[in-house]
Amino acid sequence: MKIKKEYTFTNNRQIWRIIPTQTDKLIIEERDTERREVFFNCIKIDSGKKIFKNLQLDEKYWIGIEAVYNDVIFFHEFLKPDMPGHKGIISFDINSQKILWRNDDYIFLFVYDDKIFCYQLKFEGRNFYTLNFKTGELIDEMGEDADPINELREKNISDSMTEGCLFPEPFISSSVEDDRIKNLLRNYKEERVIIGNIEYICLKNLILFNFHEVAENGMLRNFFKAIDIDSGNIIFEEVLNAETKAFVPDSFFLKGNFVFLLKNKVKVVVCSLG
C-alpha cells in the first residue's frame, strides 16, 4: 500500500473543523479570531474541486455547524456571545448554496431517519419536537419525556458527520498485541524526546502515526509518518508543524481511501491510499 499526496487546501486562516460528508464532500470551517469572522468552504474530496468558498451567513462569527445530513448543513447561532449555549436552526443546501429554511424557536439535538430532533427551553425543563429536515415543518410534539429521545440519540451516537471515519488512538504499549507495531512505536518513543502521546492507526500493512518531538530550541515539531509494518520502511512523512508551543492532538484522520492531515493549523493536506 502506498500514500500519494493529492492536493492541499488553504486560505491561510485558522482551520477550526474538517467535516467529511456522506456524499464525499469536505466542509472546512475557518475562523479569523481577530476580525471575528467565520468562513465555510466545501470541496470535493477526490479532487479538491471547489463547490463553494468563503461562505458567510448574516451572523459573521457567533455561528457554527450542528450536523451535515444528505447534503444539508444545519447551522446554529449562540444564545450569547462567548457562551456555549446554542439557539435556532438554519438549514443550508450544499448543492443549490441557498438557505432552505430557518427557525429561531427550536434548538437542534440530532438528525435521524430524515427527522430533526430538537427542543424548546421552558422555565423548568424542555419540550421536544421533530421537524422535517427538508422543510423545517413540525412533524410531532413529543412532550417533556427525555427518555425516548435519549434512546434514539444512543442509536444515533455514531454521529453522521464522522460515520466511516477512522481516528487515531493513543499508543499504549500494553494494549497492542502485534509485536511488530509495538516495537516500531516503542522505538520511536525511546529514540526521540517526545511530548504527549503517539497517536496511530493501523491499516492492513501500514501504521500511520503522529507525534510531537522537542526541537533544539525547546519548541515542538509535529510529525506525521506512515511505515510499512513488514519492512519497517517509512513510505510517507510530512512535517505538520515545524514550530509549536503546545501538543496538538487530532492532526489526522482517514475516510475511505483518503488521509486528511492538518498542517500548520491553516492547511488541509489530502492524500490517497492505494
Question: How buried is residue 34: exposed, middle or buried, by Cβ count under 10 Å (0-12/13-18/19+)?
Answer: exposed
Per-residue pLDDT tens digits for 83-116: 788 999 999 999 999 999 999 999 999 999 899 9
C-alpha cell at 186: 516503542
Q: Where are the domains of the chain?
A: 3-158, 168-249
Selected from 3.40.50.11540, 3.90.1150.10, 3.30.460.10, 2.40.128.630, the CATH number assigned to the domain covering 3-158 reads 2.40.128.630
The backbone torsions φ and ψ at residue 114, rounded to the nearest 5 degrees and listed phi first, read 65, 15
Task: Give the pLDDT band (50/70/90) at residue 161.
Answer: low
**Dihedral in degrees, nearest 10, Cα atoms 69, 71, 77, 78:** 40
DSSP 104: S
Per-residue pLDDT tens digits for 208-226: 999 999 988 888 999 999 9
Proportion of the chain above pLDDT 70, given as a percent: 97
Task: Give the pLDDT band (50/70/90) at residue 159.
Answer: low
Proportion of the chain above pLDDT 90, given as a percent: 68
Nearest CA to 197 among 248, 253, 254, 270? 248
